[in-house]
Chain A
Amino acid sequence: MTDTIHMNMIQAINSAMDVMMERDPTVVVMGEDVGFFGGVFRATAGLQQKYGKNRVFDTPITECGIIGVAVGMGAYGLRPVPEIQFADYIYPALDQLVSEAARLRYRSAGEFIAPMTVRSPFGGGIFGGQTHSQSPEGIFTHCSGIKTVIPSTPYDAKGLLIAAIEDNDPTIFFEPKRIYNGPFDGEYDTPATSWAGHADAQVPTGYYRIPLGKARIARAGGALTILCYGTMVHVVEHTVAMLGLDAEIVDLRSLVPLDIETIEASVKKTGRCLIVHEATRTSGFGAELLAQVQERCFHHLEAPIERVTGFDTPYPHSLEWAYFPGPVRIREAINKIMKD
């Protein structure tokens, strides 16, 4: 066993890259401001000093170029970990991600692969306005050939990031930036909390991995299943605690591949299901979850499945807390489901 120390989510992510760069000389880290400065969120701090500029380097401000170059590096035999500074900036790279990285193994019948892990901070709750708050995970889950992973704790962030880097398929690793420095319960007008004292902030300093496609039962219960991921896990935990409800909270951890067994077993047990995500509602990943639950658990359901999501509007700056699917909206949905 390696030593276990306290880490916030940024430190855990940094540690995952550090561990993998130490173990595998083909791992390279690239992105805007990730080198000498160590990233605008400090996630790559110290890596260039430790592993050199050939393995950790700043890039020009072209997301298309960053991902295109990472595809070429992957074809050469490297294992790139590009950072897209904000998920909102990932759109210029969409063609290289969706048409190239995600399709390379398939179109070449395995001759070439794109074993890259694209790290990107996502989600709102930081007064980032519409260009620093989005949750575009549903765009990627809709595309064949790419995996989408979202951690909710420092422990998971490190173990999942290591698994993603080791994975030979391209993986989008969205980091909920609202909980980089501490869990967030959705009560925006109370002081921010840190990860100090949180059980899941005790993180091994060495190598460990959490397999992609295995959900985590964040809270076991029998009254209602709540499917969520990222920041929303903490908001849901808080809301359930306030209500004193015996809900089962499933932290999905990875959307593709999805842990359908855990979802199905939980909903069949509780007979009720709520889906919570911060992303916009229409064609969001919640729609897929809802369809999967309906197909598999219809005869076990005692109430209609509900969704609490971001609204189908751009993320508004001053009205952030009206947009954010916080405890008020989650509580109303739970009450509706439990009424039947």
Chain B
Amino acid sequence: MTDPHDSARLQGEAGRNLPPLRLHVPEPPARPGESADFTHFDIPAADAAPRPDETAQPATMRDLAYGLVRVLDEEGAAVGQWNPNLPPETLLRMLRAMALTRAFDARMFRAQRQGKTSFYMKSTGEEAVSIGAALALDRDDMCFPSYRQQGILIARDWPIIDMMNQIYSNKGDRLKGRQLPIMYSAREAGFFSISGNLTTQYPQAVGWAMASAARGDTRIAATWCGEGSTAEGDFHSACTFASVYRAPVIMNVVNNQWAISSFSGFAGAEATTFAARAVGYGIAGLRVDGNDVLAVYAATRWAADRARANAGPTLIEHFTYRVEGHSTSDDPTAYRSAEESSLWPLGDPIARLKQHCIGLGIWDEDRHAAMDKDLAEMVRDAAREAEKNGILGHGLHHPMESMFEDVFEDMPWHLKEQQQQMLDEWKAAGL
């Protein structure tokens, strides 16, 4: 019997006069110790992108999938057709929500380093993506987030102590200590249970939106994934369903350049943009400066209005940068240039909105410093309160028999039997 992996056969017929084939394995522009260089980025002027009518046919607006929707220019002025012209109170609300998200991240990251929980994920540099979108959506629109959209809960004024209880997996955790920290679920905030499996939320959001449309509802759905996980089959299934049924859904791709240690080239970024995935599906695609909260707001509002007008789904690529590691379990100095975040050409989202507000005369450095101080104290106080409910591994968790609850609506005999066996064994062991 012949071996199908026989090396001679694998090499094919020798002597054919053809150039050898080459496998292209992508490599990021800079590794540790090397200089980062973003000069090759094509960053159009802030007022360059045209804003089509919300009901425009996707075929008439393909350029937007390859350009960059921006509002804030280099001086912090809001310019161009996408300027949402938000009132001062909304701008300051955005600023505060972004700053609170960053303060929350700082505190919880530190709590993990102090051994109070097992895991944390910061959203540093990506705050605008969640907060711009959350404020552009209606409060009862349904969000199907990935794991780095804590800003949605914060923008929707969800109590941060509830988020901390989840992170500490303590007796105050509504999710009964079952989920990895930051895998929140908050039905009342229109925030779907986060899965650790990537992009599974995409077809789910489309299904929710289809249900809303089928029932003649007025609410829409929005979902988020990273650029790396656009490679998952779920992403493409979701795009197909969204296109076929013209589902009232906004699909956000947060292109923060890195999927753990894999740069965006491993998801196809060398060949095209992620917004351009929309072109093949015949749905509207927008590529947005994800560090410009006004651009995120404007794009989301456009997509929401489009969905509400029964004009179909929108895929939005948020072009941003993951400033920190993937999670507390990750060390980005091992695989990327340390210069990248400081040289990122689209700046920091909080600094840019701050500059804009100061330019408008509605904000100043003193007030900003005072706000940061207040938020840090507020987060510290909330963390202290949450810690009264317990921290991971210190006994103040839900009772052990609760592990058998909620597998099914009613507990079947085999789970009752296993639950009793566990309790009997612990009792027999004198524990």
Contact = CB atoms under 8 A, between A and B. Distances in A.
Contacts of B2: none
B193 to A, nearest CB: 4
Contacts of A257: 412-414
A222 interface: no
A210 to B, nearest CB: 16
A169 B195 contact: no
A64 B233 contact: yes
Contact of B207 (A73, A104, A258): A73
Contacts of A78: 211, 214-215
Interface stretch (A106-114, A177-185, A223-231, A244-252): A106-114
Interface in B35-88: none
Interface residues of A, number: 46
B407 interface: yes
Contacts of B207: 68-76
Interface in B235-249: 236-238, 240-241, 244
Contact of A69 (B192, B195, B241, B413): B241
Contacts of A112: 185, 187, 192-193
A81 B226 CA distance: 30
Please indicate which of the listed interface residues A28, A78, A111, A167 has the most CB atoms of chain B within 10 Å of its own CB: A111
Contacts of A28: 211, 214
Please indicate which of the listed interface residues A28, A70, A109 has the most CB atoms of chain B within 10 Å of its own CB: A109
Contacts of A110: 406
B234 A99 contact: no
Contacts of B11: none
Q: How large is the interface on B (under 10, 10 to 19, 20 to 34, 35 or more residues)?
A: 35 or more
A209 interface: no
Contact of A75 (B174, B208, B215, B234): B208
Nearest to A71: B204
A191 interface: no
A194 interface: no
Contacts of A107: 175, 178-179, 183, 185, 193, 195
B274 interface: no
Contacts of A145: 407-408
Interface in B274-306: none
Contacts of B241: 59-60, 62, 65, 69
A99 B193 CA distance: 12
A100 interface: yes
B265 to A, nearest CB: 25
A76 B407 contact: no
A110 B411 CA distance: 13
A65 B205 CA distance: 11
A64 B237 contact: yes
Contact of A108 (B193, B209, B215, B234): B193
Contacts of A331: none
B144 interface: yes
Contact of A62 (B176, B185, B237): B237
B386 to A, nearest CB: 17
A112 B202 CA distance: 16
Given A64-B233, A168-B409, A108 B214 contact: no
A248 B13 CA distance: 64
Contact of A68 (B204, B409, B414): B204
Contact of B240 (A60, A76, A108, A147): A60
Given A68-B207, A72-B206, A99 B200 contact: yes
B408 A100 contact: no
Nearest to B173: A109
A221 interface: no
Nearest to B187: A111
B240 A105 contact: no
A100 B211 contact: no
Contacts of B212: 76
Contact of A65 (B178, B186, B238): B238
B200 A69 contact: no
Contact of B195 (A54, A55, A62, A100): A100
B203 interface: yes
B54 to A, nearest CB: 24
Contacts of A144: 407
B121 interface: no
Contacts of A99: 195, 197, 200
Contacts of A113: 409
B103 to A, nearest CB: 27
B205 A72 contact: yes
Contacts of B186: 111
Interface string B140-184: 001010000000000000000000000000000011101100010
Instruction: State the 7 A-B residue pairs at the shortest beta-carbon distance, nearest first.
Output: A72-B207, A68-B203, A65-B237, A69-B207, A72-B204, A76-B211, A108-B193
Given A68-B206, A113-B409, 15 more contacts: A64-B234, A65-B240, A73-B208, A75-B208, A76-B207, A76-B211, A76-B215, A77-B211, A95-B197, A108-B175, A108-B193, A109-B175, A111-B186, A145-B407, A260-B414
